[in-house]
Amino acid sequence: MSTTKAKIALITGANKGIGLETARQLGKQGVHVIVGARDAAKAEQAVAELKQAGVAAEALDIDVGDSASIEAAAQEVERRHGRLDILVNNAGILLDDFALKPSEQSIATWRKTFDTNLFGLVETTQAFLPLLRKSAAGRIVNLSSILGSNAAHLDPQSPIYEYKLPAYDVSKSAVNAWTVHLAHELRDTPIKVNAVHPGSVKTDMNAQGDLTLEEGARSSVELALIGADGPTGSFSHLGQTLPW
């Protein structure tokens, strides 16, 4: 079992994109990062990249769409470290067909999206919560999106008013609601739970993004490292509160 005094962070879907950049930025802050990914080879490749940049990192096999994988991952982190200080639920998918109207998206798209973006996130959190309780100040960061804001979708002046990807959007609305419920449950503990919007970041999932990965990871990193006086049950982007 690890005896490291550094904070230990698990980032799911961290072999590329915002997840990998989040791992890099946390590592630069002295955090020991666990790169969670469903592809072991890609996770190891990401770890090698991080180590080359001077970051303390290790790989972890975890598929948030697979219950057995989640449970095995939690057992492995317990075996290696005995605790977890930071959980960044970064893994997510966007499957909506941009050419279809909301009512035309397939039920298969809805189910698969929710299996990863919501049910996988909740199940991962449940599995690692006992280890987060062993931390002096556990932090849970849920990757959401402004596309999960019902208020923004209803506002004709909002930049997302005409941008409707229902399965993805509603899954993120549900992530926001889960964040509020879990934060309430843990309000009398040292654990803080928050949702973040990374911004419109240029990634494999979002080719039209206008922010860099460095900018996109910043909100997650900030909430992962907040002190005892920091928020819980919030939804924000770079410290700015967003509408639910």
For the chain, give every domain's residue range: 8-92+121-146+169-241
The residues assigned a catalytic role are 168, 172
Pick 8-92+121-146+169-241's CATH classification: 3.30.450.20, 3.40.50.720, 3.40.50.80, 1.20.1730.10. 3.40.50.720
Which residues, other chains included, contact 215 with Cβ-Cβ below 8 Å and sequence gap of 6+? Answer: 199, 201
Q: What is the CA radius of gyration of the chain?
A: 17
Answer whether 0.75 is exceeded by the pTM. Answer: yes
Mind listing the pLDDT tens digit for each residue in 28-86? Answer: 999 999 999 999 999 999 999 999 999 999 999 999 999 999 999 999 999 999 999 99
Percent of the chain with pLDDT over 70: 95
Band (pLDDT 50/70/90 cuts) for residue 207 is low
Q: How far apart are CA 204 and CA 183, in angstroms?
A: 31
H or E segment and range at residue 108: helix 107-114
**What pLDDT was estimated at residue 95?**
97
Rounded Cα distance, 156 and 23, in Å: 36
Q: Going along the chain, which residue ranges are E strands?
A: 8-11, 32-37, 57-61, 86-89, 139-143, 192-196, 235-237, 240-241
